Amino acid sequence: QQPVQSPQAVILREGEDAVINCSSSKALYSVHWYRQKHGEAPVFLMILLKGGEQKGHEKISASFNEKKQQSSLYLTASQLSYSGTYFCGTELNNQGGKLIFGQGTELSVKP
Amino acid sequence: DAGVIQSPRHEVTEMGQEVTLRCKPISGHNSLFWYRQTMMRGLELLIYFNNNVPIDDSGMPEDRFSAKMPNASFSTLKIQPSEPRDSAVYFCASSLRLTGGNEQFFGPGTRLTVL
- pLDDT tens digits in sequence order for chain B, 115 residues long: 689 999 999 999 999 999 999 999 999 999 999 999 999 999 999 999 999 999 999 999 889 999 999 999 999 999 999 999 999 999 999 999 876 668 899 999 999 999 9
Q: What is the mean pLDDT of chain A?
A: 93
SS3 of residue B21 by DSSP: strand
Contact B107 A41 (CB under 8 A): yes
Contact A97 B43 (CB under 8 A): no
Other beta carbons less than 10 A from residue B27's beta carbon: 10
Q: Which letter does DSSP use for residue B2 in this model?
A: -
DSSP string, A72-94: EEEE-S--GGG-EEEEEEEESSS
What part of B 18-47 touches A (C-beta under 8 Å)? 31, 33, 42-45
Strand partners, B113: B12
Q: How far apart are CA B5 and CA A91, in angstroms?
A: 25
Q: How far is A44 from chain B (nearest CA, A)?
A: 7
Contact A97 B33 (CB under 8 A): yes
Q: CB of A103 within 8 A of CB of B42?
A: yes
Contact A96 B109 (CB under 8 A): no
Residues 6+ apart with CB under 8 A from B41: none
pLDDT digits (tens, 9 = 90+) for A2-35: 999 999 999 999 999 999 999 999 999 999 999 9
What's the distance, CA A109 to chain centroid? 16
Reported as a pLDDT band with limits 50, 70 and 90, residue A97 is: confident
Q: What are phi and psi of B85, to 5 degrees?
A: -70, -5
